[in-house]
Structure 1
Amino acid sequence: MKRWFKQAKFEKHQSGWLFIGLVASFFLFCGLTQSFENDKPTPYTLRYPANFGARYTIPADNPTTKEGVYLGRLLFYEKKLSAGNSISCESCHLQKLAFTDGKALSAGADGSLTTRSSMSLANLLWVRNFFWDGRSPNLEQQAAFPLTNVHEMGQPLEESVAKLRQTALYPPLFKAAFGSDIVTSDHILKALAQFERTLISADSKYDRYLAGIYQPTAQEIRGMELFQNAPNPQKQIRGANCEHCHGGVKTFKELFHNNGLDSIFNDNGRENFTNQPEDKGRFRVPTLRNIMLTAPYMHDGRFQHIEQVLDHYNEHIRESETLSSFLKDVSNEINGKKLMLTQNEKTDIISFLSMLTDSTFITNPEFSNPHLTLKSQ
């Protein structure tokens, strides 16, 4: 498996916290190869299967390094970044749920609810526009929104900086990652982005099947074929039409679609960002990786179960001016107006979707809360 699944390895940075006041001892026990005397931090090699492709962009001013990733990991789980030290990024993005939170809407530091559901953080390295409406072009800018939004973590970056500067833990880590022990908001955002780029999910049954080391069941194969096929009743080809939007090994495309949830919109989606009428009701096409772990579904979390999602696409598409053309008049029956999948076919599709669960991703210790290890020592 090591031949094809290339999850990046990071030295055992949790191995000691006994002499925080001594810089050399700190790095000895944390297992970081970079010392304060070196000019540059250690490059972090992002590893992933070759079929994922290398079509991604990492900002030139924020290269991914071992020190930066470790710092970002600590910050991801750091409650000092929120008002009242009450929540962290983890609060809405739990590793065991593929970095979602199992809620339709998440509670912020002020107790109010967010307006949209928390998205999975899997495979962000390949995403080019973030949030359900695509308003942020990179992870560095993305991080600023939840940190400062009054209904999320609710704290100005300047206050977060002040809190971290007062700790013994963080200034040395900022120096290791960025060359200066002065904590800055820019470096907070950059470190978080570095860690989030390492959250690669690529060890599901589906990945093993593609690598030739897992043989799907007959039901999984039927579900895969339905997932990949567009219906063509004239040729007696049955399909669920999923691959138009969720095609490719990463199961998402850089698209925004109105998927027929509403004909009258409470949330105008991408139009709120672009001000273009044709974007009304359009939202990001999310990855389906780990989909069986990331309920509830859709931008507002309206569907509690995967069966409801399939029922929606099968039977309940609502017409509107911006409805995706991929969903119009698509049917497994000649002259049909609905998808017309059978119950058995929906069950087969769910069997395939279960192949996308990556148990390695949700248990990888390199993505877990490092503060727990520090407190135990």
Structure 2
Amino acid sequence: MPLPLRPSDRPTVSIPAGQLRLRGVLCTLVATVLAIGISSALALWGERSNATAADAQQDVYEKFPEPPRTYDRAYARQRAADMAALGAVLFTDTALSASGKQSCASCHSPQNHYGPPNDLSVQLGGPDMQHAGVRAVPSLMYLQTVPPFSEHFIDSEEEGDNSTDAGPTGGLTWDGRVDRAAAQARIPLLDPQEMANPDIATVVEHVRAGPNADRLRKLFGGHVFDTDEKAFDAITQTLEYYQSQPELFAPYSSKLDAAMRGLARLNDQETRGMRLFAAEDKGNCASCHRFAVPGQLPLFNDFGLIALGLPRNAAIAANRNPSYYDEGLCGPMRKDLADHPEYCGLFRSPTLRNVATRKVFFHNGVFHDLRQVVEWYVTRDTNPEKWYPRKPDGTIEKFDDLPERFHENVNMDPPFGGKPGDKPALSPEEIDDVVAFLGTLTDGYYDPVKQRAAAQNTTAKAAAAGGTAATEGAAASPAPAAGH
């Protein structure tokens, strides 16, 4: 058996240098050809892919044309109805939140007159649904006629009298920092303590990838998703249209509305309460929550911003920081009026419609019972020990939810005012009467739409018979209820 060759004994093959160079050139050429082929294939695939995507996008543009710039009344009504219908769907869509568990309706409950669904001072939200807000949830009802915010609002009940400057008035939210429902809708969608989307692109992607994308394209055209801002504006517009439906958000269907149309009567206690509500030396509630507007069903609101000097609410997590204050019109949420100390502590007054069904009151949600609210109004200054804590020296720390340097902004008009020990403007029995009257402002007592239809039917039958018929509620200018 031959022994294996040692490395030094193995034969060597000598390849001429020219052949080596040729092999190198051939290898390089093959590699280059392969690279070019692969690159060309990838480029071709990319071009075809881009062409396919472009074709698909063009198909979308053709399928969903831009809405016409001009249109007739029938088209406008149908478009408004379609916008509101999509807005209703998005209003209840939990996919529009970071948690996937919260929608607009979670805080603005349709079953609770678009106010909070519970008695929590502030609602929970955020990505984990454990982030507490800092303000109570307001109702979204009866906001259609709220004027844009103005520092100097000129208005008067006397026709032609423009001499009265009502001061800061109007705007939506507790501090009036936006003027349109579409702008208001942006706030909870992007607030880290609410629906907590990090940016508008996230909201847009939820809709683009969801079942309502084509409905949005049908309304705004195939280009609606070309930019995030354009799509986000479209989304919030549908929410605004939804909130503009009078049958849902301004039905005027309370017992008082029925009484003003001659379809019901207030009982004795409710009538007494209405008089106390309006009397300047008693409740004086109508000074802010106006309802003596000729020819109109009342909104119970003058849209003004006012500092009430509320007690501090320990249930709000942010208030555990003793240096934190929600100063309303001058911050911290509103930024543009921070240099106006005279506005600190001012918050917009809400409508009192449906107030009897609420379980949380005022911007800081400090009260949870309507009778307690009325009692606080009339005893804030005469019995402050009932509402405010004591300082170490034993004195009452009034208006403890507002820095002391802004206490001069607190309203002192009746029923406020007086000094400790004075007689409150309302007795306990009178407080009960006012609360009873406020209960007549709850919608759902009757159906105005059905009533109008019945009245029109009665009129039509009478006309067909050649006679006359008295039509309930047909007066163009409803008369106030008895005792108003």
The answer, yes or no, to whether TM exceeds 0.5 is yes
Q: Paired residue for 2:444, among 359, 372, 375? A: 359
Partners in 1 of 2:416 and 2:105 — Cα distance? 41
Does the CA contact (< 8 Å) of 2:283 and 2:414 recur in 1? Answer: no
Does the CA contact (< 8 Å) of 1:71 and 1:177 recur in 2? Answer: no
CA apart distance, 1:284: 0.9
Normalising by the residue count of structure 2, what TM-score does the alignment of the two structures yield? Answer: 0.58
Q: Paired residue for 2:184, among 132, 137, 142? A: 142
Q: Paired residue for 2:243, among 196, 207, 228? A: 196
**Structure 1 residues 293-343: Cα deviation after superposition (integer angstroms, max 9, x where no partner):** 122111111101011101110101456200124247657x9x995643111
Asked which structure has the greater RCO (Cα within 8 Å, sep 6+), the reply is 1
Q: Secondary structure at the match of 2:99?
A: helix
Match of 1:251 in 2: 300
Q: 1:37 to 1:180 in 2, by over 3 A?
A: closer
Match of 1:241 in 2: 284
Match of 1:322 in 2: 409
Q: 1:360 to 1:164 in 2, by over 3 A?
A: farther
Does the CA contact (< 8 Å) of 2:377 and 2:415 recur in 1? Answer: no
Match of 1:226 in 2: 276
Q: Paired residue for 2:101, among 86, 92, 98? A: 86
Partners in 1 of 2:183 and 2:209 — Cα distance? 25
Q: Secondary structure at the match of 1:193?
A: helix
Whether 1:70 and 2:112 are equivalent positions in the alignment is: no
Q: Which stretch shows the higher mean deviation, 264-273 or 253-262?
A: 264-273
Partners in 2 of 1:132 and 1:209 — Cα distance? 31
Does the CA contact (< 8 Å) of 1:123 and 1:197 recur in 2? Answer: no
Identity level (%): 27
Whether 1:126 and 2:169 are equivalent positions in the alignment is: no
Match of 1:58 in 2: none
Match of 2:264 in 1: 214
Match of 1:343 in 2: 428
**Structure 1 residues 151-181: Cα deviation after superposition (integer angstroms, max 9, x where no partner):** 11001221111121112x3122113322337
CA apart distance, 1:127: 1.9
Whether 1:112 and 2:161 are equivalent positions in the alignment is: no
**Structure 1 residues 16-56: Cα deviation after superposition (integer angstroms, max 9, x where no partner):** xxxxxxxxxxxxxxxxxxx98984684349xxxxxxxxxxx
Q: 1:44 to 1:125 in 2, by over 3 A?
A: farther
Q: 1:178 to 1:303 in 2, by over 3 A?
A: same
Does the CA contact (< 8 Å) of 2:105 and 2:114 recur in 1? Answer: yes
Does the CA contact (< 8 Å) of 2:126 and 2:194 recur in 1? Answer: yes
Q: 1:173 to 1:115 in 2, by over 3 A?
A: same
Match of 2:110 in 1: 95
Counterpart of 1:284 in structure 2: which amino acid? R
Q: 1:216 to 1:328 in 2, by over 3 A?
A: closer
Q: Which stretch shows the higher mean deviation, 105-114 or 312-321?
A: 312-321
Whether 1:268 and 2:330 are equivalent positions in the alignment is: no
Whether 1:277 and 2:341 are equivalent positions in the alignment is: yes
Whether 1:43 and 2:130 are equivalent positions in the alignment is: no
Partners in 1 of 2:251 and 2:268 — Cα distance? 25
Partners in 2 of 1:85 and 1:242 — Cα distance? 42
Does the CA contact (< 8 Å) of 2:258 and 2:446 recur in 1? Answer: no
Q: Secondary structure at the match of 2:310?
A: coil
Match of 2:374 in 1: 310
Does the CA contact (< 8 Å) of 1:109 and 1:151 recur in 2? Answer: yes
Counterpart of 2:276 in structure 1: which amino acid? L
Q: 1:218 to 1:361 in 2, by over 3 A?
A: closer
Match of 2:200 in 1: 157
Does the CA contact (< 8 Å) of 1:314 and 1:338 recur in 2? Answer: no
**Number of equivalenced pairs:** 301
Match of 1:6 in 2: none
Does the CA contact (< 8 Å) of 1:330 and 1:339 recur in 2? Answer: no
Does the CA contact (< 8 Å) of 2:300 and 2:353 recur in 1? Answer: yes
Counterpart of 2:203 in structure 1: which amino acid? S
Q: 1:329 to 1:215 in 2, by over 3 A?
A: closer
Whether 1:187 and 2:234 are equivalent positions in the alignment is: yes
- Report the aligned-residue RMSD: 2.9
CA apart distance, 1:84: 3.0
Partners in 2 of 1:294 and 1:204 — Cα distance? 15
Q: Secondary structure at the match of 2:409?
A: coil
CA apart distance, 1:124: 1.6
Any gaps of 5 or more consecutive residues in structure 2?
A: 1-63, 148-170, 226-230, 292-297, 313-321, 382-397, 400-406, 450-484
Partners in 1 of 2:446 and 2:274 — Cα distance? 22
Partners in 2 of 1:126 and 1:286 — Cα distance? 12
Q: Secondary structure at the match of 2:135?
A: coil
Match of 2:219 in 1: 177
